[in-house]
Amino acid sequence: MIKKIMCFCGSGLGTSFVMEMNAKKALKNLGIEGVKVEHSTIDDVVPGAADLFVCSADLVPNAQKAGKAIGLNNMVSIKEIEEKLKAAFEEDQA
Residues engaged in binding other proteins (CB under 8 A): 9-15, 17-18, 21-22, 41-42, 55-56, 58-59, 62, 73-78
Residue 1 CB, nearest distance to other proteins (Å)?
Answer: 28
Q: How far apart are CA 37 and CA 52, in angstroms?
A: 10
End-to-end distance of the chain based on CA atoms, in angstroms? 10
Residue 67 CB, nearest distance to other proteins (Å)?
Answer: 18
Stated as kind and residue range, the H or E segment containing 8 is strand 4-9
Residue 93 CB, nearest distance to other proteins (Å)?
Answer: 28
Nearer to other proteins, 3 or 64 (CB): 64
Q: How far apart are CA 7 and CA 71, in angstroms?
A: 10
